[in-house]
Amino acid sequence: MAKLIDLTGQRFGRLVVIERAENAKNGKAKWLCLCDCGNNTIVLGTHLNSGHTQSCGCIHSEVVCAVMNKHGACDSRLYRIWAGMIKRTYNQQSKDFGYYGGRGITVCDSWKNDFQPFHDWAIESGYSDNLTLDRIDNQKGYSPDNCRWVTMKIQCNNKSNNRFIEFRGERKTLSQWADLLGIKGCTLLWRLRKGWSIEKALSTPPQKQEQIVSIKK
């Protein structure tokens, strides 16, 4: 095991390391840091050393504000999508940071500091107001080669925490099985929670009383 390097007192961008914090769940070292703006934040040592994290999130908040003033597009849905992408990957104060920036998800350089390249890619890639931004590979970051515009339903099927069901040699999400079999997803979920086997839950036609229960759920 590599010897831990003490980062106390070192500066990383706007952050100065104060002391060691409790390790992450995976055992990686974390450090309590003081940001130049006055906020305290806890950061993985690997993120400090790699340059991934250089502030408590205030740098990117400032970038967002500057871009907003430059483009005057803050009221557009596409701009809000871009700003949300930046927030959850770089702002540690975001409630979603742990699922994105906290696990190493980043935004490519061409999109990170400027809305316009993202806007141009979105229009060229078929953006419309009924579509959402989706990463093709959930283990990789936001970039033109790993992003696409999809319906909300497709995105839900791609979520890492979605429930997959093996049935008769095929593996699909609960939502996909519901569409294929003509059974409401809430009905399938209710059956499985009641302890039905997968075979019985997916092969039994919906009953009237089940439909009523599903609506109540």
Q: What digits encode the pLDDT tens for the residues 172-203?
A: 777 778 877 778 777 887 888 788 888 898 88
Return the percentage of the chain with pLDDT > 90, whole number.
Answer: 12
Instruction: Specify whether the CB–CB gap between 118 and 76 falls below 8 A.
Output: no
Instruction: Say how far apart CA 31 and CA 40 lie, in whole Å.
Output: 10
Q: What digits encode the pLDDT tens for the residues 16-31?
A: 999 998 888 888 899 9
Residue 11: the pLDDT is: 92
| Contact partners, residue 27, CB within 8 Å, separation at least 6 | none
Q: Return the axis-axis angle of helices 185-193 and 208-216, rounded to nearest 10°.
A: 90
Phi first, then psi, for residue 160 (nearest 5°) are: -65, -25
Residue 117 CB neighbour total at 10 angstroms = 16
Residue 125 has pLDDT above 50, yes or no: yes
Rounded alpha-carbon distances, angstroms, from residue 195 to 55, 124, 166, 204, 210: 49, 48, 16, 14, 14
Residue 72, token pair as written in the block? 């005057």
Write down the mean pLDDT value for the chain. Answer: 79
Q: State the residue for tokens 């959930």.
A: 138
Q: What digits encode the pLDDT tens for the residues 43-90?
A: 889 989 888 888 877 766 566 555 555 555 556 788 888 988 988 888
HEC profile of 104-158: CCCECHHHHCCHHHHHHHHHHCCCCCCCEEEECCCCCCECCCCEEEECHHHHHHH
